[in-house]
Amino acid sequence: MATEKLYYQDPNLRSFTTQLRKIDQDEKGRLYAVLEKTAFYPTGGGQPHDTGTMNGIPVYDVEEVEGEIRHYLQEPLGLQDEYVGVIDWERRFDHMQQHAGQHILSAAFENQFGYPTVSFHLGKDTCTIDLHIPSLSDEEAEQAEKLANQMILENRPIETKWVTKEELTQYMLRKDLSVSENIRLVIIPDFDYNGCGGTHPESTGKVSSIKILHWEKQKKNMVRLYFVCGNRVLQQLHHKHQMIQSMTSILNAPQEQMKEATQRLVQQTKDLEKTVSELKTQLLEYEAQRFIEKAKQDNESTIKGIFFNRPITELQQLAKSMTLNRTDILVYLVNEVENKLQFVCARGQDLNVNMNQIAKCVLPLINGKGGGNDAFAQGGGVRTISGEELMEELNKQVTCFNKI
């Protein structure tokens, strides 16, 4: 005989006394008890399982497997004549609020707009329903939320009824049923008729309130809507209020001006980034100029520079700036970054040396990759040789190609 389901007889039952039917282990070696009767709700119908204790031993999971309700125990149960089960009521009541709230919200979307709910998920912090529609407007969400909260305010009864398949024809069900026997209807008179095996409070008032948080488009014709009910509405308010309070002190602006203060901050950051970028360009120009002046003093037609941990984009900019300033020079810049070596080689337009060819010749020395065109090339690889050695190799190639 199946375990007597006390949670259907009285969803408000928080503790109960029962006899043990058996103790066993599942295929994963998890210890479980099967009882004569139970108020522990097993995972099902979108509602997570209850937790609690049996004779003081924690019950951490409850599942219905092949008609038997398994209470997974943290430790073995001693043999007794009677066992006392205690439900974690805070967790169960929260599930009841979310679950009944989902019925009400889904019915509100269905009754007002004909939007069907195709699935429900009761998460740890928030709940979701998937609505089979291409998109949802702010006004529609607002209206559905308003109607749902009106139903709560009216404190309508939430009734449950076991019916046969034949009796079903008397009811306008919101959703097709997934079972054909042991049919349990959950009814909010003149509002919602729905097949459901979960636990619900006896009236809508106990749901307390429903708040839609946000929604997003899923795959085609599907909108996932996030919401909370009951105590979770207060928790959300509490967390959001704390967040706003901390933001007001960070932004030094009251709640009403927070949006403007944030926009100002974002704009300031953008302006600063632009300024920094302009200053960096000026600095690089200055640096390029110094290299050129030094080469002039030394009567050198080749500029060589070895750097450490410079962004490669800066070296590119430097080389370009130098060859634009002086069209008769060669530039080789080498950069050491941890265990990597990078280089840039460039020439002024008056010279006739193929920089891409030079790059290709030195790249195997550092197991590198790279390339470019006649006037400008770059590459990067492993630091198998030092920066100075790479510079020498580059120079050799240039001398060699120059002779040709």
Q: Binding segment for Zn ion among 69-77, 95-103, 129-137, 326-334 (CB under 5 A)?
A: 95-103
By beta-carbon proximity to Zn ion, the closer residue of 72 and 227 is 227
* Cα–Cα distance measured from residue 196 to residue 94, given in angstroms and rounded to the nearest whole number: 17
Q: Binding segment for Zn ion among 96-104, 130-138, 330-338, 353-361 (CB under 5 A)?
A: 96-104
* Cα–Cα distance measured from residue 220 to residue 217, given in angstroms and rounded to the nearest whole number: 8
Cβ at position 165, least distance to Zn ion in Å: 19
Cβ at position 186, least distance to Zn ion in Å: 5
Residue nearest to Zn ion (CB): 196
By beta-carbon proximity to Zn ion, the closer residue of 70 and 99 is 99
Mark residues 15-44: x for contact with Zn ion by CB under 5 A, - for none: ------------------------------
By beta-carbon proximity to Zn ion, the closer residue of 184 and 280 is 184
Cβ at position 185, least distance to Zn ion in Å: 10
Encode 284-324 in three state secondary structure: HHHHHHHHHHHHHHCCCCEEEEEEECCCHHHHHHHHHHHHH
Cβ at position 163, least distance to Zn ion in Å: 15
Q: Please enumerate in sequence order all residues whose Cβ is within 8 A of that of 224, keeping only pairs 6 or more positions apart, or say none.
A: 128, 129, 130, 131, 215, 216, 217, 218
- Under DSSP, is residue 225 helix (H, G, I), strand (E, B) or coil? strand
By beta-carbon proximity to Zn ion, the closer residue of 172 and 404 is 172
Residues in binding contact with Zn ion, number by CB under 5 A: 3
By beta-carbon proximity to Zn ion, the closer residue of 11 and 198 is 198
* Cα–Cα distance measured from residue 246 to residue 243, given in angstroms and rounded to the nearest whole number: 5
Cβ at position 200, least distance to Zn ion in Å: 6
Cβ at position 89, least distance to Zn ion in Å: 18
Taking alpha carbons only, the member of 114, 112, 115 closest to residue 148 is 112
Mark residues 178-217: x for contact with Zn ion by CB under 5 A, - for none: ------------------x-x-------------------
Q: Please enumerate in sequence order all residues whose Cβ is within 8 A of that of 70, keeping only pairs 6 or more positions apart, or say none.
A: 26, 32, 33, 34, 42, 62, 63, 64
Residue 213: CB atoms within 10 Å? 15
For the CA atoms of 334, 337, 340, 341, what is the dihedral angle to 10 degrees? 0
Q: Binding segment for Zn ion among 97-105, 128-136, 210-218, 343-351 (CB under 5 A)?
A: 97-105
By beta-carbon proximity to Zn ion, the closer residue of 8 and 226 is 8
Cβ at position 99, least distance to Zn ion in Å: 5
Taking alpha carbons only, the member of 144, 134, 152 closest to residue 111 is 144
Mark residues 46-85: x for contact with Zn ion by CB under 5 A, - for none: ----------------------------------------
Phi then psi for residue 322, to 5 deg, are: -65, -45
Cβ at position 197, least distance to Zn ion in Å: 7
* Cα–Cα distance measured from residue 284 to residue 318, given in angstroms and rounded to the nearest whole number: 6
Q: Binding segment for Zn ion among 93-101, 145-153, 336-344, 361-369 (CB under 5 A)?
A: 93-101
Q: At what angle do helices 258-297 and 231-251 cross, to 10 degrees?
A: 50
Taking alpha carbons only, the member of 145, 191, 200, 153 closest to residue 172 is 191
By beta-carbon proximity to Zn ion, the closer residue of 196 and 288 is 196
In the complex, the residues that contact Zn ion under the rule CB under 5 A are 99, 196, 198
